[in-house]
Structure formats: C-alpha cells, structure tokens
Amino acid sequence: MFTALLNATAISFAGPLRIAPFSVDITPPLGSMLAYNKATHIDDPLYARGVAILSDQAPVVLCAVDHIGISNGGQDEWKAALAKAAGTTPDRVAVHALHQHDAPRFDSTKEALLESVGLGGATVDLAYARQIMARAAEGLAQSVAKPQRVTHLGVGKGKVERVASNRRVLGPDGKVKFVRWSGMPRTAANYPAIEAPEGLIDPWVRLLSFWNDDQPLASLTYYATHPQSYYRQGGVSADFPGLARAYRDREEPAAVHIHFAGAGGNVAAGKYNDKSPAARYFLSNRTAEGMRQAWEAMEKFPVDGGAVAWRIKTVHLPLNDRGSKRELESTLRDLKAQTAKRVSAASELAYLDRVESGRGIDLQCLQIGPARVLHMPGELFVEYQLWAQEMAPDQFVCMAAYGEYAPGYIGTRASYSQGGYETSQRASKTTPEAESILLSAMRELLRAPR
C-alpha cells in the first residue's frame, strides 16, 4: 500500500532515533469543575498521554489531554512545563485536547480575569490544573531519562463504521436545515436529521507506531469526530475515544496508546448516538475496531534520527465582531450580571487581548519517515483534514486539531454563509477569510523540503 512512500523516504543513516512515551492519570477529584458542571462521580479515568521524539534535532513533544479545550495561557503553561521536562523549547511542543465534554477546560488567562473580579474557580480549579501539568511533566522527565531506541515507524489506517456523521445537514437551498448534534434522542422531531445521509466525514482512523525491531513502543491514532455519547450528567469520562483507547491498552499492552482528535468541528456521532449509556459502548467498540484494523494494516519502515523534521508556521486568524472591549469589561465587572455572561466576557477578553497584542497561533508539522502530522488549532471543520491529504497525496498525512482552543469553531469560507450553530457569532471567533490563511500555511508546511 505504501510502497511508493517507502521508495520516496530517504534514510540518512544519521544518529539513532529514540522516544520517551508517557501516560499520566489526570482524573479530577469529585466536586471539581468540568466543562459545564461539577463532577459528582467518576465513569472512567482521564489521562494526559504523549511522547517525546529524540533525534538529531532538539526534542519534539506531542501530548494529548483529556480536556474539552486548553487555551491561551493554559497552552503556554502546558508547553512550558513539558518543554522543560524534555529539554526542549515550547515551540517544539504540541498540546491538544480530545474535547470530551465530561472533562475540565483550562485557560489561565481567562481565569486570571475572573479572579480579578472575585470569580476565581468559576471555570477551573487552578490547583488541580497545575498539579496535573506537574504530574505530566514529571512522567515525561522520567521517560526521557530512559529513552527507548526506535528502529521502525509503522503507518496504517482502518475504517470506522457507524460512528461519525456531519453535524450540518443542508437543505435544497444550500443552507443548514438541521444541526445534527452529538447526541440525538430518538424522537419524532429528531428523525429527519437522524435519517439524513452521513454527509462529509473522514471515516478513517490513521495510526503511527514506533518500534524497536519487533517490539511496539507507542501507538498514535487520529480520528475526526466530536467525542460525545451521553454527557453533562456529572460523570467524569474520557467518553468513547477514551474507552476505545483503553481497549487497545489491554489488547496491545506493550505500547503506550495515545489518541488525538482530528478535524471534527462539524462532525459528531449524532446519527448513531441516541445519548444513552449503551451508545457509549457501541461507539467505543466501533472506534476501537477501526484502531485494530489500522494496526493490522500497518506497514513498517526503517527510520533513524535523520528522518525527523519539525516545522512551524505562525498564522493570524481574522477576528469577527465580538463587541466592544469596553462593553466586555463592563459585563465582566457587573456584579448584577449572570455569572455565565461574566465568564463569557472573560473568555472574549482573553482572546481579544491576544489578537490585539499581535500574537498569532502556531501551526506545527511533524515529518517522520513517510508520515506528516499537522497540529492545528480550534474546532476545525473536517474539510481541512481532507484538503491536507489532497495536498500531499504521496505522504501519509495525519491531523490533530483542538490545539489552541481559543478561536472556537473554524469553518470553511462557504460554511459562514450557510448558517448553523458552528459558524454562528456565539461559536466561532473567525471570519470566512480564515480558510485561505490556513490553507496557505498548511500547503507551505506540507510541501516544505526536508
């Protein structure tokens, strides 16, 4: 399948390639603030998992966190902690959330604004957030002290059946007729959206794996969908991708299994998810089956330390009209305003200040052997993932989204005129022009020579 990739992959016989995988339990205590409510019980544990790639260059760290999103100062803190642990710089660290809704969120910039008006802890317990960062950094440092030799990279993909469906069901006029949410109870009102075709998705889970001869060391999987089954009922859960990951832990215990959410901003399980507890297990089994198929279909390629490249492109996404800064600051300080409105104002101000300061968002690209992995921000539409694959058809292209979470949903140019929740003023902080900016940066990253 990947013979052409093998022929195109130059092995430089440079220094050895080594990795340092890590997995840390980050399950919050009961009473902790989750994305939308406080934790009343634990359904299954949360993890921060990742790997440091040690080559002829400075280390690269990839980390996937069971959070709904990590933004602004939260991203800065995570990257700094992991960079220090691996002996590298923060720009060579990629941190991604898996976007579970029964998990915490972390934006220390927003939290500082809330603390300034007496609302500290409204979105996250900072002691917990910094404790798990320290725990993850310690786990990484311990692994880096005992790195494992890599001789081969494995790549493969498997099809996931009856999980993903496009959230945006268009009518004959090209406008959004139905929003097919993550969970759709089987009611008469929901049936038209449920029965509509799957729509545009990427049905494949893609897998990269690191090996020392015949010994598996780590497996990285990428799949594009919102990860919700039943949710917002007080339970802490990594939801169906986390359960699928746990199945793979048991089936291939020698490898550390690390899962990343792809560009699933406009993709969810709503067509196949009635929001029942049983649905969580159907969806997790189907996702795990795709992971198994990717593992079984894997082809392995020899690699060494010269096979790794890391590139960065900083982008400045256009900010849509969020209201005046003065009005947002007034809402934040208004003791009579609803807490939810004040929290929202803090979120808006945190990102507005970032944009006004001229600070952009880093897109990152890992090249290793025949594989390239794009590390992207926000709740990116699946079209970007499919476009990336078209840009480099001779490469095995993976995408991790939900990096810098602050921009919210990032749609395509066409989607902003179609209506629907995802490109509404409430959900997306960007404009249609974001598409051309991202595509140009992606093309540059994917086509850059070694």
Q: Is the pLDDT of residue 42 over 80?
A: yes
The predicted structure's pLDDT at residue 4: 43
The predicted structure's pLDDT at residue 47: 98
Say if 334 falls within a structural domain. Answer: no
The predicted structure's pLDDT at residue 357: 96
In this predicted model, what pLDDT tens digit does every residue of 360-398 receive, in sequence order?
A: 999 999 999 999 999 999 999 999 999 999 999 999 999
Q: Is the pLDDT of residue 106 over 70?
A: yes
**Domain interval for residue 263:** 3-315+358-447
In this predicted model, what pLDDT tens digit does every residue of 242-255 receive, in sequence order?
A: 999 999 999 999 99
Return mean pLDDT, the chain: 95
Domain tally for the chain? 1
Say if 326 falls within a structural domain. Answer: no
Say if 279 falls within a structural domain. Answer: yes
**Which residues face 54 on adjacent strands?**
18
In this predicted model, what pLDDT tens digit does every residue of 307-355 receive, in sequence order?
A: 999 999 999 999 999 989 999 999 999 999 999 999 999 999 999 999 9
The predicted structure's pLDDT at residue 349: 97
Q: Is the pLDDT of residue 1 over 70?
A: no
Say if 382 falls within a structural domain. Answer: yes
Say if 405 falls within a structural domain. Answer: yes
Q: Is the pLDDT of residue 3 over 60?
A: no
What number is the average pLDDT over the span 212-240?
Answer: 97
Q: Which residue has the higher pLDDT, 36 or 12?
A: 36
The predicted structure's pLDDT at residue 280: 97
What number is the average pLDDT over the span 8-25?
Answer: 77
Say if 263 falls within a structural domain. Answer: yes
Q: Is the pLDDT of residue 123 over 90?
A: yes
Say if 224 falls within a structural domain. Answer: yes
Instruction: Classify residue 417 as exposed, middle or buried by CB count within 10 Å of its CB (0-12, 13-18, 19+).
Output: exposed
The predicted structure's pLDDT at residue 449: 61
Q: Is the pLDDT of residue 305 over 60?
A: yes
The predicted structure's pLDDT at residue 9: 41
Say if 325 falls within a structural domain. Answer: no
Other CB atoms within 10 Å distance of the CB of residue 367: 19
User: For the whole prediction, is pTM greater than 0.85?
Assistant: yes
The predicted structure's pLDDT at residue 448: 65
In this predicted model, what pLDDT tens digit does every residue of 60-93 receive, in sequence order?
A: 999 999 999 999 999 999 999 999 999 999 999 9
CB 125 within 8 A of CB 133: no
